[in-house]
Amino acid sequence: MTKIVKSIFFGFMLCALCAARAQTVNAKSCNTSDVQTAINTATEGQTVTIPAGSCTWTNGVTISGKGITVTGAGSSRVIAYSSNTLSLGTGSKSLTIAPTRVDGTYPLGPSTGQTLTVGELGNEQNYMTGTVTSFNSGTGALVMNITSDAGTCGTPAYPNSSPSNCARWIVWTDPSTATVITGNSETNPLFTITEDTSVHTNISEIQFAPGATYQNQIFSLQYHSGGQAILIHDLRITGNPNLDGNPNGVRDMILSDTNRGIIWNCSFDGYAFNLSTMASLTVKDAGNVTGNSWTSVSNMGSLDTTGQGELFMETNDFEAFGFAIGIDDNGRIVSRYNFLDNAGLMATHGADTSNYGQRFFEVYNNIDVFNAYSNGTTFNINDWIYLRGGTGLVYNNTIPALISSDYGTKPDINMTVMNLQRNGGPDACWGAGHSSPSGQNYHAPRQVGFGYVTGTGTASYTGTSPNPVYTVNGANDSITYVGDSEPFYIWGNTRSPLNVSISDYGSGGGCTNYDSSSNYIVANRDYFNGSTAKPGWSPYTYPNPLEGGGATSSNTPAAPTNLQATHN
């Protein structure tokens, strides 16, 4: 009897081991063809592993029609920053660091003997690599034995780009045992992923390094009706310096055509600071198909009952971006618990050059760092948030003032109704010819402070030049719903109220007898800045519960229960 039970037990154990092995498909190498072969071989719910190594991709891979996990062997990560002035060189170096996590912890080091690199923010060709001699987590005092260095202080990554002063530094872990993919594809993203309808596709533990040519995108995330949120985490993505005439060499690190997904525990490194050409994430839904953003009520905060009603960016770090996040047509996004080192928070599109404009965003519990100088080396961040339409909220963020001797004082948030003075989009030159009295054609379709609340909002305007017969009457224009009042709220930040500016496109932009944004975006009507909280709002659960999900965790067969052995 005992032998039979043991045989059955070991039989079950063997079957469980076989099932576990069957859940994994190992790519032969990190080369594109080997990874795509492993992806093609894997079935729904399985895991593709990419071994450690460095590979250059001149085209990308595609995941479509099945939810799988793709994981590399690891990635380096930015773990700290410093504002010490240092000279490049070998030997013992001391600096004071602070963590790039909003909770103030150092989960990835420094630890004695660990190999780290200290690189100049925005000019990472200037760096020093060595091992940790000592570290005091209470004071941030880090001592390293530097064994190699490169670059020259004061020399930017490329002409007329990030000014170098060797006074802004980031610290990152050693990528020697990582999976490092270098992108050299001018036409294709490195990963094109279409949502699966039953399993969360999950990508992690890969480092993406700058290549020798312009890289179109790293990730392209595609919507699928009934799809499950794509999960991306524990990566490092570094942009290129000036390559092929492009100031950054990467158009978008992640371009999402879907309004759901979770991106967390990633380091996004702009490498060479540039104001306008690169974002870590751009979300847009040009076809307005991923939830009818402008024809349904907002699901901000706890109203998002599944954690898939918006695209979540949380617990990431961003280094040297003009704007870390871009939001375009119909976009819905949450940016929370992120660390931004001399990186603008986000820029949005409105119903001007874009047809729809962004729908809404939530920005809360983030920390921003800004280094100001008086010698011409301050990064030229124009504003933390640039808002061209739609609505949102900014709550409980650490936001330093954008004040420097180099550039003077700049606004924290800049808002505009661009199509008042721009001949673009479905409602070009809104109100032109009827600017007296000012603001008489308020509101412009989908402008700042508007969303979908009642579904009965209207906008009316009979145009003159350059659109003499253009008319909007009722709740819809030629594109979609024009919106009704849904104000933008700013409250509870480290400085309150924030410095808000209302700006215009300027110079008419092809419009005549035009109106001004200040007559359309009015405090305590279209936005509230100070102590007024957004009514009825509370944050969604943090961290997003889906961070524990993905192909392997949600599809691994459960251990057998209720087993019995019968002796005949």
Query: What is the predicted pLDDT for the residue at 289?
Result: 73
Tens digits of per-residue pLDDT, 335-387?
999 999 999 999 999 999 889 999 999 999 999 999 999 999 999 999 999 99
Query: What is the predicted pLDDT for the residue at 13?
Result: 44
In this structure, what token pair is assigned to residue 332? 């819905």
Query: What is the predicted pLDDT for the residue at 470?
Result: 54
pLDDT grade for 184, boundaries at 50, 70 and 90: confident
Query: What is the predicted pLDDT for the residue at 471?
Result: 64
For residue 153, give the nearest of 83, 86, 82 by alpha carbon. 86
Query: What is the predicted pLDDT for the residue at 16?
Result: 43
Query: What is the predicted pLDDT for the residue at 124?
Result: 92
**Contact 73/54 with Cβ under 8 angstroms?**
no
In this structure, what token pair is assigned to residue 290? 């991923």
Residue 157 φ/ψ region, left for φ over 0, alpha for ψ in the -120 to 50 degree band, beta for the rest = alpha
Average of per-residue pLDDT values in the chain: 88
User: What is the rounded radius of gyration, in angstroms, for the C-alpha atoms of the chain?
Assistant: 26
How many CA within 13 A on the CB side of residue 500? 23
| pLDDT at residue 553 greater than cutoff 50 | no
pLDDT grade for 557, boundaries at 50, 70 and 90: very low
Mean pLDDT value across residues 254-267: 96
Tens digits of per-residue pLDDT, 236-259?
999 866 554 554 455 679 999 999
Query: What is the predicted pLDDT for the residue at 387?
Result: 98
Largest CA distance in the chain: 98
ω into residue 200 within 30 of 0, thus cis?
no
Residues in the chain: 568
End-to-end CA distance of the chain: 10
Mean pLDDT value across residues 400-422: 96
Mean pLDDT value across residues 172-185: 93
Tens digits of per-residue pLDDT, 9-54?
444 444 444 444 459 999 999 999 999 999 999 999 999 999 999 9
Tens digits of per-residue pLDDT, 73-110?
999 999 999 999 999 999 999 999 999 999 999 999 99
Taking the mean position of all CA atoms in its chain, how far away is CA 56? 24
| pLDDT at residue 390 greater than cutoff 60 | yes
Query: What is the predicted pLDDT for the residue at 276?
Result: 56
ω into residue 539 within 30 of 0, thus cis?
no
Mean pLDDT value across residues 509-515: 86
Among 60-64, 78-82, 148-152, 182-186, whose mean pLDDT is lowest? 182-186
Please, which residues have CB within 8 angstroms of residue 3's CB and are 6 or more apart in sequence?
Answer: none
For residue 320, give the nearest of 214, 210, 480 by alpha carbon. 210
Query: What is the predicted pLDDT for the residue at 277?
Result: 54
Kindly report the backbone phi and psi dihedral angles of residue 483, in degrees, each rounded to the nearest multiple of 5, phi listed first. Answer: 100, 160
| pLDDT at residue 4 greater than cutoff 70 | no
Kindly report the backbone phi and psi dihedral angles of residue 38, in degrees, each rounded to the nearest multiple of 5, phi listed first. Answer: -65, -40
Query: What is the predicted pLDDT for the residue at 491?
Result: 98
Tens digits of per-residue pLDDT, 361-371?
999 999 999 99
